[in-house]
Amino acid sequence: MSTPASASLADADPLLDGLNPQQRTAVLSRSAALLIVAGAGSGKTAVLTRRVARLIRDRELWPSQILAITFTNKAAAEMRERVELLVGREAAQGMWISTFHSACVRILRREAEQFGFGAAFTIYDSADSRALIKRLVKEMQADTLGFTVSAVAGKISRLKNELVDAEGYSRQLNPNDPTEVMFLELFRRYTAELRRANAFDFDDLIAQTVYLFRAFPKVAALYQRRFRHILIDEYQDTNHAQYALIRELTRPVEPVHVPVDTRVELDATGGIPAASLTVVGDSDQSIYAFRGADIRNIVEFERDFTGAEVVLLEQNYRSTQTILDAANAVIANNFDRIAKNLFTAVGAGDKIVGFTGYTQHDEAQFVADEIQKLHEAGTPYSQIAVFYRTNAQTRALEEIFIRSGLPYRVLGGTKFYERAEIKDLMAYLIAVANPADGLAMRRILNTPKRGIGPATETALANHADELGGTMHDALRDAAALGLGPKVTAAILDLAGLLDELADGVTTMLVPDVLTTIIERTNYLELLRGSRDPQDEARAENVEELVAVTRDFQKNNPEGRLVDFLTEVALVAAADDLDDSSGTVSLMTLHTAKGLEYDAVFITGVEENLLPHQMSAAEPGGPAEERRLFYVGITRARKVLHLSLAMTRSTFGDTTVASPSRYLQEIPTELIDWRDSPGMGARSSTRSLGSGRDGFRYSASLPPAGKPKTEWANRVTASVRDNGDLTLAVGDRIRHVDFGDGTVSAVTGVGPKSIAEVQFETAGRKRLLIKIAPLEKL
DNA sequence: GTTCCTAAACTTTTT
DNA sequence: GTTTAGGAAC
C-alpha cells in the first residue's frame, strides 16, 4: 500500500503509515456514526484494524468496550490477529470480534435463563429445522393444502428475519384463508417445539436476542453500557433483524440503568450516551438478498443515524487495471447504484483469458492445464482459486483435478458434519448436553440398531408427555411402559449411558465424552465389522471426528461440551480455509466474498447458470447475479480466467448452453479468447447473438445423441484402478485421451504417485498413476 | 423391526 | 446421474 506522503504530524504515527487521505479520514473520524463505503480491494481491513488499534493504543476506551462484527469467523480471527500485531496481544484482550451469530450465542448463553431457556441450548441448523418442520407438516397433514417443507421453512425464516413471530403473524393474517391459518398453526407449533427442546434455530439467534433486549431493558442496558464502540463489516449484507440488533445496542442508557460507580462519561440527563457506530460496506457487493439482506440498511444509513459521516474508498490496491476495467464495465449495467469507479496505480497487467469448452469436462481440463502452467511459472497453488455458481459444478472439476494430480480443496459444499455417521454422534453429544432436545434423542434412539422402532418411539414420546418431562425422563422410566424385556433393557442401557455422561459434562474433556459414547455403543466396531464397503470410509470419518474434538480441546483447554457444540454449529464454509495448505481452492462465488487470490478462474459463465435460472423470476435477481459476478472478478489480483462450456449435463441429460449476458458487458479488447483444444480446426465464423466477437456458437454442435468420444479431452465416467502399476522416467505409455507419451518425471509415493508425461500430440500432463486411463507399453 | 428394491426428486447461493 | 424416501418382503 503506497500513497503520496503528505507532510503532516500524523506521518509520525505508524498506525497511519502508508494510508491514503480517505483511509486516514476513516481511521481518525470520531463521528458518532461513520459509514465507510469501501470498494472491492480498497484496503478496508487495514482501515478497520488501524481504527481499532488507535482506539486501544490512545486509551480512548478499553478493548472490552469494543464490539466488532465480521461476516465469517475466519474474518474475525484475522482481524483479531492483525489488531494484536499492531498493539500487542495483551493490549487487545477482551475485545469482542465475531460474527452476528457468535456474538448473539454468547449473549444468549449468559442470559437464556432470563426468558425460559437453559444455558445449554442447542443450535438447530437448517437440516434440523427442516426435520422438525417435516414432522409437523406430517402431523398436521398440511401437505394436503399444498405445503412443502422447504416452503414452510423458507417462510418462517423470512418472517424471523423481519422480526415477525407467530403472534405477530396472527395479527396480520386473513382468518378466512385456510392456508394462512394452517401456516400460523405450523409456525406456532414450530416455535413451541423449539422452546420445549431448549433450542434456537439460526434465525432465532439474532431475533431472540433482539426480543430479549426489548423485553428486558435492564439486560439491554448491560450491553449498551459495555460496548462503547461498535463496528460492523459487510454492512450491505445485514438483514432487518441484524439492523434492529444494532439499533438496540446503540441506544443511550437511561439514567435509571446507570450504576453509581460507573466510570463512563455521562450526558446532561445523567444517562450514558449512545455507543459510536462504524459500518463498512459496498452496495455493489450485496449478494445475500435471498437470506433477507436489505440493501436499504446501507443506502439509508445517513438518514437512520443523523449526523453520520461518510467516507469513500475508491482506490484499489489489489487488482490490475485490466481486471478493474472489466469489473467496472460489468457493474455499470446495474442502474440503481451510486456511480463508483475503482482505479489502481498497479498498471494494466495481463489480459483476461477466456475459454469456451465443448463440455464441462473440456472446460475443467482447461482449468487444470492453466493451473499447471501457472504453477510452473511460479504461482503457488494456495494463490489460485476456482469459483462457480452452484456446488454441483464441483464434480467435473474434481474429476479432472484428481486425475491430473492437482492438490485442491473444496470449501463448503457437502460438509463433513452433514454425513450420517457424524450427525449420529453429534446427536449423542447434543443429547448429553441438552436432555430436552427431542430431535437429537429421536435420532440416537435406534442408532445403532437396538430394536427400538417407530412404535416404541411414539410410546416413549407419549410417556414423556404424560410425565410432563423430557424424552430422557421417559427413557429412565421405560419399565413402566410394559414393553418386551429386550427392548426395555436396551432403553434403560441408553438412559444409563446418557445419565452417566450428563453427570460428568462439566468436568469431562470433550474427546473423552465422545470416545465413551463410541465405546459404549460399539459404534466403530459395528462399522468395522460391516460388509458394506462404504462403512470403512464412515469409520474413518468417525475417527476424524475424534481428532476434531482433540484439536478443539488443545486449542480450548477450558472448553467443555457446550462450547464444542457451539463452535461446530457456527463454522462457515470459508472458516476452515487453511492458507498454509498449499492447495488450489474451489468454492462458490458466495463463499469467495472477502477473499483474494493471485489467479482466479470463474467457471460456467453461461446463461441460466450465471445469472442462474432461478434468479430470473425474483425481483432484483439478475442485478444481484451481476453483483455476484462482480464480486468474483474483483477477487483476482493478477490474472483472471473466464470459462464456459457449450453443453452442460445436468440430471444426466445434456443441454446446450449459451454464453452469459455478462460476458458481452466486458470490453472485447480486455479478453483474450482461446479455442477449445478438443474442437479440431478453428472456424472463421465466431459470433454471439448480439454480434459481438468472442465466442464459438452452437452452430458447430454435434447432433444430439452422438457419442462424445471424438473429442480429445473426453473424460471417462468411471474411475479406473491400475492397482500397483509403477512407472519410471523414460517409460513409454499410452493414454486413452492423450495418446502415446514418455514419462519425464515421477513424484509422490504409493497410491498418490504422479507421473509427468510428455505426450507426442497433447503436450505435457501430470497424471495420478493409480487411476489415469493409461497402459504401459 | 429390518432389509432391500424401486421410484422420484434433485440444484441457487448460507449463517 | 445420484441420492433419498417409501413401500414391499422377509
Model pLDDT for residues A15-58, shown as the tens digit of each residue: 777 888 888 888 988 888 999 999 888 989 889 999 999 888 88
Q: What is the pLDDT of residue A323?
A: 93
A49 flagged as catalytic: no
Q: What is the pLDDT of residue A691?
A: 31
Residue A698's pLDDT band (cuts 50, 70, 90): very low
Q: Which of A44, A318, A696, A766 is catalytic?
A: A44
Say if CB A386 and CB A584 are below 8 A apart: yes
From CA A152, how far away is CA A623, in angstroms rounded? 27
Q: How far is the CA of A325 from the C1' of C5 (A)?
A: 50
Q: Give the DSSP letter of residue A711.
A: S
Q: Nearest 5°: phi and psi at A485?
A: -65, -35
Question: Which residues neighbour A386 within 8 Å (Cβ) at sequence distance 6 or greater?
Answer: A367, A371, A397, A408, A584, A585, A586, A587, A600, A601, A603
Residue type, A625: E
Q: Which of A45, A583, A650, A654 is catalytic?
A: A45
- List C-alpha distances in Å: A386 to A82, A180, A601: 27, 44, 5
Residue A744 has pLDDT above 60, yes or no: yes
Q: Which residue has the cell 492458507?
A: A579
Instruction: For residue A353, give the 3-state DSSP assignment.
Output: strand
From CA A260, how far away is CA A388, in angstroms rounded? 57
Average pLDDT estimate for A735-749: 76
The model carries a pTM of 0.83
Nucleotide nearest to A420 (CA to C1'): C4
A321 flagged as catalytic: no
Residue A594, CB-side half-sphere exposure with 13 Å CA sphere? 25
Average pLDDT estimate for A53-69: 87
| Comparison of pLDDT for A264 and A172, the residue scoring more | A172
Q: How far is the CA of A449 from the C1' of C7 (A)?
A: 21
From CA A361, how far away is CA A648, in angstroms rounded? 9
Q: What is the mean pLDDT of chain A?
A: 83
Helix A149-161 crosses helix A202-215 at what angle (to 10 degrees)? Answer: 30
Is the distance between the Cβ of A378 and the closest atom of strand C smaller than 7 Å?
no
Q: Give the DSSP letter of residue A563.
A: H
Question: Which residues neighbour A358 within 8 Å (Cβ) at sequence distance 6 or greater?
Answer: A645, A646, A647, A676, A678, A679, A711, A713
From CA A746, how far away is CA A648, in angstroms rounded? 34
Q: Which residues of A belong to the annotated binding site for ATP?
A: 38-45
- Longest CA pairwise span in chain A (Å): 91
Q: What is the pLDDT of residue A96?
A: 93
Residue A414's pLDDT band (cuts 50, 70, 90): low
In this structure, what C-alpha cell is assigned to residue A401?
Answer: 483435478
Q: Which residue has the cell 511459472?
A: A377
Q: What is the pLDDT of residue A204?
A: 94
Q: Which of A111, A125, A128, A233 is catalytic?
A: A233
Q: Nearest 5°: phi and psi at A578?
A: -110, 105
Of A240-254, A291-305, A376-390, A630-644, the one with minimum mean pLDDT is A291-305
Q: What is the pLDDT of residue A628?
A: 94
Instruction: For residue A204, give the 3-state DSSP assignment.
Output: helix
Q: Which residue has the cell 469459483?
A: A387
A45 flagged as catalytic: yes
CA angle A525, A531, A533 (to 5 degrees): 100
Q: How far is the CA of A760 from the C1' of B13 (A)?
A: 43
A285 flagged as catalytic: yes
Closest CA to A401 of A9, A766, A32: A766
Strand partners, A641: A353, A601
Question: Which residues neighbour A741 within 8 Å (Cβ) at sequence distance 6 or greater?
Answer: A732, A733, A734, A735, A757, A758, A759, A760, A762, A765
Chain B positions with any atom < 7 A from a protein CB: 1-3, 10-15
Residue A578's pLDDT band (cuts 50, 70, 90): low
Q: How far is the CA of A236 from the C1' of B8 (A)?
A: 40
Q: How far is the CA of A459 from the C1' of C10 (A)?
A: 25
Strand partners, A743: A757
Q: Which of A236, A285, A356, A470 is catalytic?
A: A285
Average pLDDT estimate for A322-330: 92
A635 flagged as catalytic: yes
Quick: pLDDT tens for A289-323.
888 898 888 888 888 888 889 999 988 999 999 99
Q: What is the pLDDT of residue A676?
A: 55
Say if CB A696 and CB A686 are below 8 A apart: yes
- List C-alpha distances in Å: A274 to A211, A224, A253, A311: 20, 8, 7, 21
Closest CA to A35 of A227, A228, A232, A229: A232
| Protein residues with Cβ atoms closer than 7 angstroms to any atom of nucleic acid strand B | A 72, 99-101, 125-126, 202-203, 287, 290-291, 389-392, 412, 446, 449-456, 487, 570, 572-575, 588, 590-591, 612-615, 618, 650-651
Q: Nearest 5°: phi and psi at A381?
A: -55, -35
| Comparison of pLDDT for A615 and A11, the residue scoring more | A615
Instruction: For residue A431, give the 3-state DSSP assignment.
Output: helix
From CA A272, how far away is CA A401, in angstroms rounded? 59
Q: Which positions 658-717 on chain A have a beta carbon less than 7 angstroms from any atom of strand C?
A: 717
**One-letter-per-residue 3-state SS of A604-642:** CCECEECCEHHHCCCCCHHHHHHHHHHHHHCCEEEEEEE
Is the distance between the Cβ of A652 and the closest atom of strand C smaller than 7 Å?
yes
Question: Which residues neighbour A126 within 8 Å (Cβ) at sequence distance 6 or greater?
Answer: A153, A202
Nucleotide nearest to A573 (CA to C1'): B14
From CA A465, how far away is CA A284, in angstroms rounded? 52
Nucleotide nearest to A154 (CA to C1'): B14
Residue A706 has pLDDT above 80, yes or no: no
Task: Work out the burial of residue A337: count CB atoms within 10 Å of its CB; fewer than 13 is exposed, 13-18 middle, 19 or more buried.
Answer: middle
Q: How far is the CA of A718 from the C1' of B3 (A)?
A: 28
In this structure, what C-alpha cell is assigned to residue A222?
Answer: 448491560
| Comparison of pLDDT for A106 and A464, the residue scoring more | A106
| Comparison of pLDDT for A62 and A762, the residue scoring more | A62
| Comparison of pLDDT for A735 and A543, the residue scoring more | A543
In this structure, what C-alpha cell is assigned to residue A201?
Answer: 434455530
